[in-house]
Amino acid sequence: MNCIPTPLADCYEIIPKLHTDARGYFFEAFNKASFLAATGIDFEVVQENQSKSVKGTIRALHFQRGDAAQAKLVRVLSGEILDVVVDIRPASATFGQTHSLVLSSGNLKQLYIPKGFAHGFSVLSESATIVYACDAPYNKAAEGGIYYADPALGIDWKVGPQRPVLSEKDVALPLLKDALL
C-alpha cells in the first residue's frame, strides 16, 4: 500500500497495490504492519461500520469526543463519494482546515482519518456503500458534529444545485466555533 500524506497532519490517502490477472484483481485492504511502517501510526481496528446512501446524501462531519475519539479508515465498496475531513484538534497547526477527495469502487483509494478529526461525505453516484474501520467503539454520549454548510469551512460537497439529502440530526448540528465547547 502507498500511504500519501494529505495537507492535514496525520491524515493519509492510501492507494492499494493491485494484483491483476484475467480473473480480476486482489489487494490487501489493510495491513497493520505495513501501515505502521509507512506512517508511524499504530492503528488497530476494533469496530467496522458499513452504510449505504443515495445520490445527493450528505452524512456530515461527525466525531467522537475525548477518550472516545476514533481514528477511521474509510473505503467505498460500490459507487463514488466525496470524503471530507476537518482537523478539530485545537493545538494542531492545521486546526479548522478541511481536506476532501473522491473515494470510489473504481479508484479503490482509502482515507485514514486520525483521532481529533470530524468526518463526512457526500454521495456522487446513484448510490454508494461505504465501509469504515475504527480503532475505538462508537459511544453515543461522546458524539459530536459540525453543520455541513458552516460558512467558515466553505466546503463544496459537489452535490450540485439539488437540495442535499440530510438527517434531522445533521441539519441541527452547530458551527465549528460552537461544536467544540
Residues serving a catalytic function are 62, 132
Q: Could you give the CA distance from residue 79 to residue 63 in angstroms, rounded to a whole number?
A: 24
Number of residues in the chain: 181
Whole-number Cα distances in Å, 161 to 43, 157, 173: 38, 11, 22
Question: What are the strands, taking DSSP E only, across the chain?
Answer: 2-5, 12-15, 19-21, 24-26, 47-54, 58-64, 72-78, 80-87, 98-104, 110-113, 117-123, 127-134, 143-145
Which three three-digit cell numbers place residue 71? Answer: 481514528
Q: Could you give the CA distance from residue 181 to residue 162 in angstroms, rounded to a whole number?
A: 32
Which three three-digit cell numbers place residue 158? Answer: 459537489
* CA nearest neighbour of 169 among 148, 141, 155: 148
Q: Could you give the CA distance from residue 163 to residue 158 in angstroms, rounded to a whole number?
A: 11
The owner of cell 485492504 is: 29
